[in-house]
């Protein structure tokens, strides 16, 4: 063992407090340190995940008080898997945004990397924590970092996007607190396992009301329709890598939270169907909105929302297969959507007014970037032999096993819409009828290229050889499904 799960939180926090000091010593450290931290965390995560695969979940207690009393972190196959993805992605995002734009000065860079690191930490915290109030705190950490990052560019609209995000975010925290307090006032505990253990003693009406509040609050973060008004704006106005971070990290954490509540904490069966309903709604509406977008990033944003809807649907099946599918989707979405955001930012960067219509012929000017974008587009549509195919297949298989033919056909119909708008962009990239533009081509930096190539390679790797991930996914989904084991694991820890 290289360390314990708490280091996922402690180390970045320590680093975050250190960064301003380090920055006074050498300015470049501000950019380097977060990367080092993330590299360390990645090593830690991979090691722990490896350990967890064999030896079962690690329950870390904090401040020396056993679970119902103190706060605990749970690094199970499920949460560990998500944490690993998040940190990996975080590292790539860091690498990509290292010198993302040359003209960014010291102060903004410091803040950018700080906020980015804390965004990742917050999300990791959401996934790891075993305490509902602690989760609230991490959600807020993530939230504030996200507001700051959204408004990072001092252009006109980013503040608007950020404000919308903030407004909905604070409504979300209101609901979250309300829900937490309902639970607390009924059961007198904040520990997830403890709550799960005793939830059946709770008055069902209150239980459902608190569940609704939870879903609403977390749904805002997880971009569920109709709570996702902030999302397209925030995605499109935030810097490109941050968009990737939202799609790949923040939303995943929120979805995790919803899933944790529904699968582990509450024992409300109707919640699964509800997940399917809102998931489908989200998926359909988002994809329909995406097809009419004129700006690439906004399109990607809607597409992300849709994907999350699909993830929720997959979770909503409530079967292990469904969970497997959902996790696979999350993994793929993290990889592919990041690639799309990464390459897309350079495409946007090089087109007038950020319009898709202005992207004619970029395939020639930015060959690698465009190629990778096309690869990502193909993958996210679910074309074999790329990564996206396997997840789409598993979602459909899960649906078919639940005999939900209608849901299946809807998913496929929506995939068709998705295909249309992605291919429109790809078609444009490789359309040689370019408009004479005087804008000089801004080539991606070397580190950005490396990042994109890594992601592209991963897409191909998973596509050709899904076995690299399926083992972990199966373990992870089994871990989520086994609720009593979770409760037992957490509550049996005694100092």
Partner 1 sequence: MATLYLIFIIFLGGAILTYYAGKLGSVLQDIIFLATILGATSLFYAGVHINDFMSFNPGGITLTWGINYFGWLFSLIVLGLGSLAAVYSVGYMKGKKRRGYFYFNFILSIMAMLGILVSQDLISFFIFWEIMTWSSYLMVIYNGKDDQKLGLKYFIFSAIGAYAMLMAIVMVHSVTNTFLIGNMIEAYPQMSLSWQIWIPILFLTAFGVKAAMMPLHVWAPGAYSSSPMAYTSVFSGALSKMGIYGMVIILVTMISHLPQGIWFRETLAWLGGLTAALGTLWAIKQDDAKKLLAYSSIAQLGYIITGVAIGTELGLLAGLFLAVMHALFKGTLFMVVGAIEKQTGTTNFTEVTGLIRKMPWTFFSALLAIIALAGIPPLGGFVGKWMLYEALITSNHYLLVILIFFASTAAFLYCYKFLFGFFMGQEEKEWEHVKEAPATMVVPMVLMALFMAVLGSWPGIILNPINNGLVDLGFVSTYKHLWDTSILFNSWGNQVVLKPLLYSVVAIFVFFAIVLIWKGFKGTRYVSTKDISSSGEVPGENENLTFSLGFAQPFLRAVGPVMKRQIDRYYTEFADGLESFFEFLRRIYTGNGQTYAIYVFVFVVIVLLFKDVLF
Partner 2 sequence: MDNALFDLLDYAVYGTAILVMLIGIYGALAKKSLLKIVIGLSVSDSGLNMLIVAIGYLKGGTAPIFSPGYLDGTNKLMVDPVPQALVLTAIVIGFGVTAVALALVIRLYRHHGTLNIDEIKNLKW
Partner 3 sequence: MKKILIILLLAGLGFYIATTYTGIGFGEPHFKHGVKDTYLKQTVQSLHVANTVTAIVVNFRGFDTLGEVTVLFLAVTALGSILYKKRHEVGVRSVLFSSSSIVTAGSKLLFPAIILLGAYVFIHGHLTPGGGFQGGVIIATGFLLMLLAYRNYSVSHIILSIVESIAGITFAGIGLLGLIYGETFLQNFLPVGVLNNVFSGGIIPIIYIAVGFKVAAELTGVIYTILHEKGESNG
Phi then psi dihedrals of residue 8, to 5 deg: -60, -30
- Return d(Cα 371, Cα 380) in angstroms, integer: 14
Chosen from partner 3, partner 1, partner 2, none, partner binding at 384 (C-beta under 5 to 8 Å by type): partner 1
Q: How far is CA 251 from CA 279, 376, 379, 381, in A?
A: 14, 19, 20, 20
Chosen from partner 3, partner 1, partner 2, none, partner binding at 352 (C-beta under 5 to 8 Å by type): none
- Return d(Cα 76, Cα 69) in angstroms, integer: 20
Looking only at residues 86 through 105 of this chain, which bind partner 3 when binding is defined by CB under 8 A? 105
Q: Which residue among 6, 163, 445, 460 contacts partner 1 (CB under 8 A)?
A: 163
| Residue 439 CB neighbour total at 10 angstroms | 11
- Tell me: does residue 144 bind partner 3 (CB under 8 A): yes
Looking only at residues 259 through 278 of this chain, which bind partner 1 when binding is defined by CB under 8 A? 268-271, 273-274, 277
- Return d(Cα 258, Cα 187) in angstroms, integer: 20
* Beta-bridge partners for 196: none
Q: Helix 405-429 and helix 387-401: axis angle, to 10°? A: 160
Tell me, residue by residue from 133 to 172, as one string, x for binding to partner 2 by CB under 8 A and - for no binding.
x---x--x--xx--xx--x--x-xx-xxxxxx-xx-xxx-
| 3 state DSSP class of 226 | coil
Looking only at residues 391 through 430 of this chain, which bind partner 2 when binding is defined by CB under 8 A? none
Q: Which residue among 13, 66, 69, 408 contacts partner 1 (CB under 8 A)?
A: 408
- Tell me: does residue 288 bind partner 3 (CB under 8 A): no
128 or 459, CB closer to partner 3?
Answer: 128
The least CB distance from residue 65 to partner 1, in Å, is 34
Question: Of 321, 328, 312, which is closest to residue 470 (Cα–Cα)?
Answer: 328
- Return d(Cα 83, Cα 201) in angstroms, integer: 32
Looking only at residues 216 through 245 of this chain, which bind partner 2 when binding is defined by CB under 8 A? 232-233, 236-237
- Tell me: does residue 211 bind partner 1 (CB under 8 A): yes
Stretch that binds partner 3, among 200-208, 376-384, 423-431, 459-467 (CB under 8 A): 200-208
- Tell me: does residue 133 bind partner 1 (CB under 8 A): no
- Tell me: does residue 392 bind partner 1 (CB under 8 A): yes
* Beta-bridge partners for 347: none
Asked if omega into 348 is within 30° of 0 (cis), the reply is no
- Return d(Cα 370, Cα 346) in angstroms, integer: 9
Stretch that binds partner 2, among 132-140, 245-253, 310-318, 388-396 (CB under 8 A): 132-140
Task: Identify the H or E element spanning 2.
Answer: none
174 or 273, CB closer to partner 2?
Answer: 174
CA dihedral 109, 252, 419, 300 (to 10 degrees): -30
- Return d(Cα 462, Cα 328) in angstroms, integer: 10
Size of residue set near partner 1 by CB under 8 A: 70
Q: How far is CA 18 from CA 11, 12, 25, 37, 94, in A?
A: 10, 9, 11, 12, 18
- Return d(Cα 429, Cα 375) in angstroms, integer: 12
105 or 270, CB closer to partner 3?
Answer: 105
The least CB distance from residue 319 to partner 1, in Å, is 12
Phi then psi dihedrals of residue 355, to 5 deg: -80, 145
- Return d(Cα 28, Cα 31) in angstroms, integer: 6
Size of residue set near partner 2 by CB under 8 A: 38
- Tell me: does residue 289 bind partner 1 (CB under 8 A): yes
The least CB distance from residue 209 to partner 1, in Å, is 7
- Tell me: does residue 216 bind partner 1 (CB under 8 A): yes
- Return d(Cα 118, Cα 125) in angstroms, integer: 10
**DSSP-based helix, strand, coil % in the chain, nearest 5:** 80, 5, 20
Tell me, residue by residue from 168 to 207, as one string, x for binding to partner 1 by CB under 8 A and - for no binding.
x--x---x--------------------------------
Find where tokens 């991979």 sit. 46
Looking only at residues 453 through 472 of this chain, which bind partner 1 when binding is defined by CB under 8 A? 465-467, 470
| Residue 405 CB neighbour total at 10 angstroms | 10
Which residues, other chains included, contact 475 with Cβ-Cβ below 8 Å and sequence gap of 6+? Answer: 53, 77, 81
- Tell me: does residue 432 bind partner 1 (CB under 8 A): yes
| Residue 440 CB neighbour total at 10 angstroms | 8
Binding site for partner 1 (CB under 8 A): 160, 163-164, 167-168, 171, 175, 208-209, 211-213, 215-216, 219-220, 226-227, 229-230, 232-233, 268-271, 273-274, 277, 285, 288-289, 291-292, 378, 381, 383-385, 389-390, 392-393, 396-397, 399-401, 403, 405, 408-409, 412-413, 415-416, 419-420, 423-424, 427, 430-433, 465-467, 470, 474
Binding site for partner 3 (CB under 8 A): 4, 6, 9-10, 13-14, 16-21, 24, 60-65, 68-71, 105, 107-108, 111-112, 114-115, 118, 125, 131, 133-134, 137-138, 140-141, 144-145, 147-149, 151-152, 154, 159, 162, 178, 182, 185-191, 194, 198, 203, 205-206, 209-210, 495
Binding site for partner 2 (CB under 8 A): 133, 137, 140, 143-144, 147-148, 151, 154, 156-157, 159-164, 166-167, 169-171, 173-174, 177-178, 180-181, 184-185, 190, 232-233, 236-237, 289, 292-293
């Amino acid at each position: 063992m290289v360390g314990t799960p708490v280091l996922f939180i402690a180390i970045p926090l320590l680093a975050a407090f250190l960064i301003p000091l380090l920055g006074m010593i050498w300015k470049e450290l501000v950019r380097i340190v977060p990367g080092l931290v993330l590299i360390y965390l990645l090593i830690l995560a991979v090691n722990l995940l490896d350990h967890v695969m064999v030896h079962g979940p690690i329950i870390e207690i904090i401040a020396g008080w056993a679970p119902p009393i103190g706060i605990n972190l749970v690094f199970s196959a499920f949460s560990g898997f998500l944490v690993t993805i998040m940190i990996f992605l975080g590292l790539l995002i860091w690498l990509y945004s290292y010198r993302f734009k040359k003209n960014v000065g010291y102060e903004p860079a410091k803040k950018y990397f700080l906020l980015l690191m804390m965004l990742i930490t917050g999300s990791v915290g959401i996934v790891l924590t075993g305490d509902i109030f602690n989760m609230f705190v991490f959600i807020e950490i993530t939230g504030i970092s996200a507001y700051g990052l959204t408004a990072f560019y001092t252009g006109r609209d980013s503040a608007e996007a950020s404000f919308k995000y903030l407004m909905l975010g604070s409504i979300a925290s209101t609901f979250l607190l309300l829900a937490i307090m309902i639970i607390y006032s009924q059961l007198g505990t904040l520990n997830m396992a403890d709550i799960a253990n005793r939830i059946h003693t709770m008055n069902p009406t209150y239980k459902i009301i608190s569940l609704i509040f939870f879903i609403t609050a977390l749904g805002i973060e997880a971009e569920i329709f109709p709570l996702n008004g902030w999302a397209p704006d925030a995605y499109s106005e935030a810097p490109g890598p941050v968009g990737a971070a939202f799609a790949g990290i923040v939303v995943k954490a929120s979805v995790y939270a919803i899933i944790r509540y529904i699968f582990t904490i509450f024992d409300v069966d109707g919640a699964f169907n509800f997940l399917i309903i809102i998931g489908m709604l989200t998926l359909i509406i988002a994809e329909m909105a995406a097809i009419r977008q004129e700006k690439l990033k906004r399109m990607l944003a809607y597409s992300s929302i849709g994907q999350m809807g699909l993830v929720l649907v997959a979770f909503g099946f409530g079967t292990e297969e469904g969970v497997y599918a959902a996790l696979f989707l999350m993994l793929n979405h993290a990889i592919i959507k990041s690639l799309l955001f990464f390459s897309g930012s350079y495409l946007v960067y090089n087109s007038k007014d950020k319009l898709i219509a202005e992207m004619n012929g970029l395939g020639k000017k930015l060959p690698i970037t465009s190629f990778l974008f096309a690869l990502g587009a193909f993958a996210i549509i679910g074309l074999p032999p790329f990564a996206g195919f396997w997840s789409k297949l598993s979602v459909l298989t899960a649906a078919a096993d639940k005999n939900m033919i209608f849901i299946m056909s809807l998913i496929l119909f929506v995939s068709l819409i998705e295909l249309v708008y992605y291919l429109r962009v790809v078609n444009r990239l490789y359309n040689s009828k370019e408009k004479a533009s005087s804008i000089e081509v801004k080539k991606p930096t070397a580190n950005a290229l490396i990042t994109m190539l890594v992601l592209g390679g991963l897409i191909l790797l998973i596509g050709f050889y899904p076995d690299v991930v399926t083992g972990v996914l199966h373990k992870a989904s089994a871990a989520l499904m086994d609720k009593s084991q979770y409760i037992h694991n957490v509550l049996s820890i005694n100092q």
